[in-house]
A and B are shown apart, each in its own frame.
Chain A
């Protein structure tokens, strides 16, 4: 994937992006039922309603207002971001470390591989009820849930990345006098970055889904919680606002991550 080329605005692209909005508008007119599909205008008008999320005891506002909606959205977005970020980072760190350990020691590899092969077959969301029982309302439970799902995917990805490394580079390092630890640091880790970056890119999208999943079920805050709350009130307009915000967030994280990766993979030959 080449992000460097940049995103050029041309009429067809704009039309493509607008078509979704137009279809939505027309469909809402035909259906003519705000609970099933509110029109884009109705959705914009519903923004102030977000201010009342959570009621007084959870810091919501009494009356709808744009200001209140902004405060509520920012506060809950921050919470969601914090969960996503800490869970994902811990997951990536744990996954990569485990993969490196598997490379490092044959005994560890024999012990861990069947464990991974078993655990990878559990769909992450199926684990969520268990985490709820183990950790109750603890924030730690959410973060551990996200990081375990992320970690599982990253460890498999990293093990494959290590296996795909060119053996001649390791041999070269050996003949130049590098120790095993030095090979780990100077050959294995930089060598797996490109493939790992691809894996993390996929995992990032998944991490958003997992984070929202955790918020649906387990906690009282975060934008996922607003979504479920809105569903309970059949407030489709508010659900769509959250959906749109979610798209923007996912896109932003993707852009930031790509910039970050490009910096670390400057050495990679360009792919057409």
Chain B
């Protein structure tokens, strides 16, 4: 399965200048390879550049030096092939739930009937069937997150970038959404890059975990040993706890 390289970073370097014109180097020389249909997590201390890396892959930011390739193509701008779920509550408050999920399809001029039926399918998949005509203001935080996920999946990207998507949710909702995400991922097998601070989350979801230190170097790539599909028993297993202890060393 893990044969074809999907995303490749070569000598990536990113320099920011602050308002005071101070130079801030995030990546010095980052090299990494992510395989097709792989689920990887990025963990590391705040400010280590995990979000920046996702933004560069999404095409929302450019790197200062080096290059980053997807399917052997240089990434220069955002595209519908890379969907992103943001940390913030990113849905359009002026669109009803169903119109939010349709958004990407509408931008790509898919005809109305087709996009409605695709949107309904994903609405069902995230368990919000009865909420098609609600405005986002009428939804809870967890439900908004489901809409955001459905919105990205409905657009059928082949790479999924998730930037601490569940960071702001309570534990129960978070566990629910992790299960749903795995369920959808199991079905569609999109290459997924997942940024998180939560070790349990990273272990439960990923095939591999990239551990960054505060200088944005990859200090370790952990292969997660659990077989798929994964159920709730994995979350509470002794092995997961062991792995968690091992990862703790880097913090």
Contact = CB atoms under 8 A, between A and B. Distances in A.
A177 B107 contact: yes
B93 A176 contact: no
A267 B134 CA distance: 9
Contacts of B60: 171, 174-175
Nearest to A178: B107
A37 to B, nearest CB: 50
Contacts of B165: none
B148 to A, nearest CB: 8
Contact of B90 (A168, A178, A186, A191): A168
B83 interface: yes
A268 interface: yes
Interface string A164-188: 0010110111111111001000110
Contacts of B92: 169, 172, 186-187, 190
A12 interface: no
A202 B204 CA distance: 54
Interface stretch (B64-72, B74-82, B178-186, B241-249): B74-82
Interface in B92-132: 92-96, 103-104, 106-108
Given A169-B92, A266-B135, A267-B135, A176 B86 contact: no
Interface residues of B, number: 30
B86 A177 contact: no
A176 B152 CA distance: 7
A179 B90 CA distance: 18
A172 B79 contact: no
Contacts of B88: 166, 168
| Chain B interface SS verdict (over half) | loop
Nearest to B103: A176
Given A186-B103, A267-B137, A268-B137, A177 B108 contact: yes
B135 A176 contact: no
A177 B80 CA distance: 4
B93 A267 contact: yes
A169 B155 CA distance: 16
Contacts of B80: 175-177
B151 interface: yes
Contacts of B96: 267
Most chain A CB atoms below 10 A, which of B86, B94, B96, B107: B94
Contacts of A16: none
Given A169-B92, A182-B107, A175 B136 contact: no
B94 A175 contact: no
Contact of A179 (B58, B103, B107, B151): B107
A186 B83 CA distance: 18
Contact of B84 (A172, A179, A187): A172
Nearest to A264: B94
A11 interface: no
B211 to A, nearest CB: 26
A269 interface: yes
A190 B94 contact: yes
Interface string B129-168: 0000001110000000000000110010000010000000
A70 B94 CA distance: 44
A177 to B, nearest CB: 3
Contact of A168 (B79, B86, B136, B152): B86
Contact of B104 (A166, A168, A177, A268): A177
B168 to A, nearest CB: 13
B86 A171 contact: yes
A240 to B, nearest CB: 45
A174 B75 CA distance: 14
A176 B94 contact: no
Given A168-B86, A182-B107, A175 B93 contact: no
Most chain B CB atoms below 10 A, which of A175, A177, A182, A186: A175
Given A174-B60, A177-B155, A268 B93 contact: yes
Contacts of A176: 80, 83, 103-104, 107, 151-152, 155
A266 B94 CA distance: 8
A174 B76 CA distance: 13
A257 to B, nearest CB: 19
Given A171-B86, A186-B106, 7 more contacts: A168-B90, A171-B78, A172-B86, A175-B59, A175-B78, A177-B80, A269-B93
User: Sorted from nearest, which 5 A-B pairs have the closest CB atoms?
Assistant: A177-B80, A176-B104, A174-B78, A175-B84, A269-B137
